[in-house]
Structure 1
């Protein structure tokens, strides 16, 4: 069971909001209104771990190990929202999200193939680690710079935990599951490592998840400012092609290790995906695309 191992490893490095955040270093002269507004948007976005957890528990009812791990992931993700809200409460109280604003991002996600969702969230954690590192660089106020660095490290650990469950699917759950997993991981990997080719940011909170609510069925569509994410990425933290390349390289590196292959480019991974499709009877070769 991976849950007990992951619990111990994450418990050993868990940070304390009261003592590990340098609240005393706050410098009001270095926090702009523009920066403070983005902190609010990220606090609300992090709150969406709540519906994501409900989705994971529903779609993984036959996997108690992974479902138990959700207790750790959910706690730490909600803590990210909480520390950002605490920052606003202390230093920009007029921007503290209302309970209504937080609750708006809690809506039902349609059922989805668990292995594809697992890979999607692995990639999402990799991307979020890089987003928060850039956010820390962009901010000028010392406390929020430190907070973004702390939660970026959490996101990297979460990606590592998801990767452990992905490896388990390939090695411990039988040949049929392993084949399904390889196809699912390759499919989503091609999608999520190709963000530079898409008009929108590729992250689970920015993808359509409920056909009945389309087009207002992304977490970002429920935000007080639905277009904030693209502005934050393009014009504020400047998450450019160089940084997208780092995300893609990280995804491809981990896929290479996981699949015991070598993927230097997205095209390499896509060729691998197509080979899997041809070898699997009854499957359709559909190129992944953003919903």
Structure 2
């Protein structure tokens, strides 16, 4: 089992919201309404770990090890929502999400293949790691800057643990896992289409389409593109870091040289022929 090891690793890295966040360093002169609005949207987006966890537990009923890890992932992601809301509660309570706004992002996700979903969330954690790094650079207010840096480190750790479960899947089921990971990797590493691809803005419930992404249930559904393009300026350099992180880890996982999305696409085609 991986869960006991993962529990110890994340427990050792855990931060305390009351003691480790430098709340006393808040500087009101360095925060503006546009910052506060994005903090609110990030908080609500993090809250969507609730329906994601429900999805993971439903679709991994045969995997108690991974399901147990969800107890940590869910706790830490909800803690991300909470620390962002605590920032707003202390310094800008008028921007604090309502319970209704939080509940709005809780809806059922359609069942999906477990391996593809695992890979999707691995890529999502890499992307969020860099989104939060960019957000920390954009913000100048010391407390929220520290918070985003802290959240980025958490997301990077989560990506590393998802990768361990992916390696376990390759060891257990072989080429079918390799194909699933390559298929999603091609989608997530294609810089022409993947700029903002993250589990929270993908369509996940056919009956609710087109209002079936987490982002579509936010009070401001269009905030993400503005945040990326006009505020944190998540440009091609940042995007390259995301893609390189996905390809580098997949290359090591699959034990083949993968230097570009094209390499990965060719690998996927070979795997499809082999498995098919």
TM-score, structure 1 as length reference: 0.94
Q: Of residues 237, 245, 261 in structure 2, which corresponds to 1:266?
A: 261
Q: Equivalent residue of 2:233, what SS? A: coil
Once the two structures are superposed, what CA deviation does each residue of 1:104-163 show, in whole Å capped at 9, x if it has no partner?
A: 000000000000000000000000000000000000100000000001000000000000
The answer to whether residue 274 in structure 2 is matched with residue 279 in structure 1 is yes
Distance 1:17 1:280 in 2: 47
Distance 1:70 1:163 in 2: 14
Q: CA RMSD for the aligned pairs?
A: 0.8
Distance 1:280 1:119 in 2: 18
Distance 1:278 1:39 in 2: 46
> What residue is the counterpart of 2:56 in the other structure?
56
The answer to whether residue 208 in structure 2 is matched with residue 188 in structure 1 is no
Map of 1:121-200 to 2, 5 A cutoff? 121-171=121-171, 173=172, 177-194=173-190, 196-198=191-193
> What residue is the counterpart of 2:97 in the other structure?
97
What's the offset of the Cα at 1:257? 0.3
Q: Of residues 206, 220, 224 in structure 1, which corresponds to 2:201?
A: 206
Distance 2:216 2:155 in 1: 23
> What residue is the counterpart of 2:219 in the other structure?
224
> What residue is the counterpart of 1:288 in the other structure?
none
Q: Of residues 230, 235, 240 in structure 2, which corresponds to 1:240?
A: 235
Q: Equivalent residue of 1:197, what SS? A: coil
Aligned residues: 276
Contact 1:200 1:230 in 2 (8 A): no
* Residue ranges of structure 1 left out of the alignment (5+ in a row): 282-291
Distance 1:199 1:245 in 2: 11
> What residue is the counterpart of 1:113 in the other structure?
113
Distance 1:227 1:43 in 2: 15
Distance 1:179 1:254 in 2: 17
Once the two structures are superposed, what CA deviation does each residue of 1:241-268 show, in whole Å capped at 9, x if it has no partner?
A: 1110110001000000000011110000
> What residue is the counterpart of 2:11 in the other structure?
11
Distance 1:77 1:273 in 2: 31
What's the offset of the Cα at 1:280? 2.1
TM-score, structure 2 as length reference: 0.99
The runs of 4+ residues in structure 1 deviating greater than 3 Å are none
What's the offset of the Cα at 1:180? 1.1
Q: Equivalent residue of 2:174, what SS? A: helix
What's the offset of the Cα at 1:200? 6.0
Distance 1:240 1:132 in 2: 14
What's the offset of the Cα at 1:33? 0.7
Distance 1:214 1:201 in 2: 19
